[in-house]
Amino acid sequence: MVAKEISLPGKLQEKLDRFQDEFWVPKERLDKIIAHFISELDRGLRDGTDPSGIPMNVAWVMEYPDGSETGDFLALDLGGTNMRVVMVHLLGNHKFTTSQHKYRLPNHIRTTRNRDDLFVFMANCLDKFVKETNPDGVPAGKIFPLGFTFSYPVTQSRIDKGILQRWTKGFDIPGVEGEDAADLMNKEIARQKLPIKIVSLINDTSGTLVASRYTDPLTEMGCIFGTGVNGAYYDRVENITKINGQLEDDIPQKSKMLINCEYGSFDNGHKVLPRTKFDIEIDDESPRPGQQAFEKMTSGYYLGELMRKAMLEGYDEGHLFIDLAKDSEGAKNLHTAYILDTSFLSTLESDETADLSDTEKEFTEKLSIATTLEERYFSKKLASFIGTRAARLSICGISAVCKKMDYKHCHIAADGSVFMKYPYFPERAAQALSDVWGYEGIKMEDHPIQIVRAEDGSGVGAAVIAALSAKRVTKGLSLGLKQ
Ligand code: BGC
């Protein structure tokens, strides 16, 4: 049986109503955010170096895949929690096969003080994978072309280079910002004498877009709603004025160029996003205050922390967990930053039991807090406000790109743990798109702009991009800025 509406004690109800107001983003505000977003996308194409703006990184993918691409490629994907190595066989005719292995990132690696830990770990995984998949040894002279998915903001002068602008998603390893991540990786590959060469360095959003476009020609954007948030799309070279005069003649003004927006940094200048006190605290307390403003309000890395902060306020004000002693384990947990991740909200949101027993268990297991039914109900509602805000804000980047490019009918390929696993996220995002684009009365599956589940971007996408680059090399075309 599903939990019913529950009436809460006056003060608790008041608090819940206040949270609802604070986290609700009405259509009018979405419109305002989108208008500012469009001007920031344009500004980034003129000059992406202002830290208050969106970088709009040029990704040097200059063709759309048409599904005919073929070849065997290795792909390496450094994600937030895992690392994946994938062998991709592109078969042409929109078809492919893959084999892959996932390796858990050791906990300390995100913030290790020694950058070698990261690159040695990645090369070790590549080595293991190649050995496992070639039990009789790699044929002499064989070099595997590798598409490296490195999903952090990078400046690329060519497709196979990428200077890290700054770490995001809680990564904080010294000695990599300002350096070429492909070069550091290639050096470790060479040191370990692996039969591998990086042919392209890509972002997860670029991979998502290209992988989905390989199978679905309606795809115009790739987006990630996960530990981080971001989007990629193709713009026209003539619009990217910051690279004016720096291109070889084989890249005409009218041709297409994939842009990795890095719009997690949208509104770092704090002009339009409706930040709550909790958002401001999260930013102030983060290793990179003032950066990734949009991401900090929408991505999976921060939702658990937002929830904890809001519950803590309810507790400190004496409305929530009223029986919880100040010196208890539970109170200590409630004061522990980042103790909760997004799965906590997911569990609460999907709890359909009459007495919210899944929620009860989650509170005991994750926080050692015993709850009343009213408190569980309050918390479930709070999770839905936070989750709904994330979904509604998330569509602002998509809407801005579609309006700017005049896309009225297309697919937005989406990936990431929040989109794939967070309850109701796709529905809420579709609702917000509908509010903005006026789809009222049209069934979700018939919406002209639809967010759809992506193909595997960091595997297939990385391979397709590597194949597109290989084609350019064969034709003698340039892969980056004028030398
Ligand atoms: C990174 C992007 C990435 C996104 C999703 C952000 O933190 O800066 O490069 O695409 O997360 O993974």
The mean per-residue pLDDT over the stretch 311-333 comes to: 97
Q: Which two tokens stand for residue 415?
A: 């990936």
The tens digit of pLDDT for each residue in 456-465 reads: 888 999 999 9
Mark whether 332 and 318 lie in a shared domain.
yes
Nearest-angstrom CA–CA distance, 335 and 321: 13
| CA 480 / ligand 1 centre spacing (Å) | 22
Mark whether 198 and 84 lie in a shared domain.
yes
Mark whether 223 and 194 lie in a shared domain.
no
Mark whether 256 and 113 lie in a shared domain.
no
Q: Is 235 a residue whose pLDDT tops 50?
A: yes
Longest dimension (CA), the chain: 76
Mark whether 221 and 315 lie in a shared domain.
yes
| Res 81: pLDDT | 78
Least confident interval from 3-17, 63-77, 169-183, 246-260: 3-17
Q: Is 216 a residue whose pLDDT tops 90?
A: yes
Which residue out of 171, 172, 229, 294 has the highest number of ligand 1 atoms within 8 Å of its CB and is therefore the one to mutate? 229
In a domain, 263, yes or no: yes
Mark whether 428 and 467 lie in a shared domain.
no
| Res 2: pLDDT | 53
Nearest-angstrom CA–CA distance, 54 and 264: 8
| CA 152 / ligand 1 centre spacing (Å) | 5
Q: Is 317 a residue whose pLDDT tops 70?
A: yes
Mark whether 29 and 127 lie in a shared domain.
no
Q: Which two tokens stand for residue 355?
A: 């007495």
In a domain, 254, yes or no: yes
Nearest-angstrom CA–CA distance, 414 and 302: 19
Mark whether 469 and 392 lie in a shared domain.
no
Query: Which CATH number belongs to the domain containing residue 106 in this structure?
Result: 3.30.420.40
Q: Is 139 a residue whose pLDDT tops 60?
A: yes
241: which residues sit within 8 A by CB, 6+ positions away?
45, 46
The mean per-residue pLDDT over the stretch 149-156 comes to: 96
Query: Which CATH number belongs to the domain containing residue 373 in this structure?
Result: 3.40.367.20
Least confident interval from 19-33, 72-86, 331-345, 400-414: 72-86
3-state SS record for 5-71 = CCCCCHHHHHHHHHHHHHHCCCHHHHHHHHHHHHHHHHHHHHCCCCCCCCCCEECCCCCCCCCCCEE
Task: Confirm if 350 and 318 have CB atoms less than 8 A apart.
Answer: no
**DSSP E strands, 237-395:** 256-260
Predicted confidence band of residue 3 (pLDDT cuts 50, 70, 90): low
Nearest-angstrom CA–CA distance, 465 and 453: 19
| CA 229 / ligand 1 centre spacing (Å) | 5
The mean per-residue pLDDT over the stretch 298-318 comes to: 97
In a domain, 143, yes or no: yes
The tens digit of pLDDT for each residue in 29-76 reads: 999 999 999 999 999 999 989 999 999 999 999 999 999 999 999 999
Mean pLDDT of the chain, nearest integer: 96
Ligand 1 atom with the shortest distance to the CA of 80 = 12
In a domain, 60, yes or no: no
| CA 228 / ligand 1 centre spacing (Å) | 5
Pocket of ligand 1 (CB under 6 A): 151-153, 168-169, 203-205, 224, 226, 228-230, 262, 264, 295
| CA 294 / ligand 1 centre spacing (Å) | 11
The residue contributing the CA closest to ligand 1 atom 7 is 228
Domain count, the chain: 2
62: which residues sit within 8 A by CB, 6+ positions away?
251, 255, 256, 257, 258, 468, 472
Distances (CA, A) of 43 to 7, 251, 295, 408: 49, 22, 19, 23
Which residues are tagged catalytic? 151, 166, 204
Task: Confirm if 392 and 25 have CB atoms less than 8 A apart.
Answer: yes
Q: Is 172 a residue whose pLDDT tops 60?
A: yes
Q: What is the DSSP letter of 459?
A: I
In a domain, 97, yes or no: yes
Mark whether 112 and 228 lie in a shared domain.
no
Structural domain span for residue 128: 66-216+463-474
In a domain, 59, yes or no: no
On the CB side of 286, CA atoms within 13 Å amount to 24
On the CB side of 84, CA atoms within 13 Å amount to 22
In a domain, 231, yes or no: yes
Which residue out of 224, 233, 265, 286 has the highest number of ligand 1 atoms within 8 Å of its CB and is therefore the one to mutate? 224
Q: Is 1 a residue whose pLDDT tops 70?
A: no
The tens digit of pLDDT for each residue in 80-115 reads: 778 999 999 999 999 999 999 999 999 899 999 999
Mark whether 334 and 394 lie in a shared domain.
yes
The mean per-residue pLDDT over the stretch 318-342 comes to: 97
Phi and psi at residue 80, to the nearest 5°: -70, -40
Q: Is 373 a residue whose pLDDT tops 50?
A: yes
The residue contributing the CA closest to ligand 1 atom 1 is 152
The mean per-residue pLDDT over the stretch 198-220 comes to: 96
Phi and psi at residue 330, to the nearest 5°: -60, -45
In a domain, 53, yes or no: no
Mark whether 24 and 128 lie in a shared domain.
no
The residue contributing the CA closest to ligand 1 atom 6 is 228
Mark whether 307 and 269 lie in a shared domain.
yes
The residue contributing the CA closest to ligand 1 atom 9 is 152
